[in-house]
Amino acid sequence: MEPLKEEPDNEGEYLEMADHLKKIYDQVEMKNQRLTLDKMELQKILMSAYGMSRVIDNLASNIMDIPADLVMLIEHMRGFLSDELDTHVFNIKDLTFE
């Protein structure tokens, strides 16, 4: 197998290499845009789940005769979703107060 040339021999090869690199760049850029949209959709889902867990927690605290284990599970779910929201949506871990 012949090693890759680092420099093209003529202008045609140079243009071919540039075109090839542009195609690769465009593919990577399209994947990045798709990942960004997917991340935004997952953030919306996480925010909705957290909002619903707050509503359920509020309702559970106002209703009598709910088993304590169920109330505890609801509180843990809300706390977990809150932590994940801070990490993955609000990027709290990236903030510094120095």
* Predicted pLDDT at 93: 76
In a domain, 36, yes or no: no
Please say if the pLDDT value at position 80 is more than 70. Answer: yes
In a domain, 3, yes or no: no
Q: Are 8 and 17 in contact (CB under 8 A)?
A: yes
Task: Output the DSSP codes for 52-86.
Answer: HHHHHHHHHHHSTT--HHHHHHHHHHHHHHHHHHH
Structural tokens at position 24: 């690769």
Give the residue numbers spanning the domain of 62: 42-91
In a domain, 71, yes or no: yes
* Predicted pLDDT at 92: 85
pLDDT digits (tens, 9 = 90+) for 7-39: 767 888 889 999 999 999 999 999 999 999 999
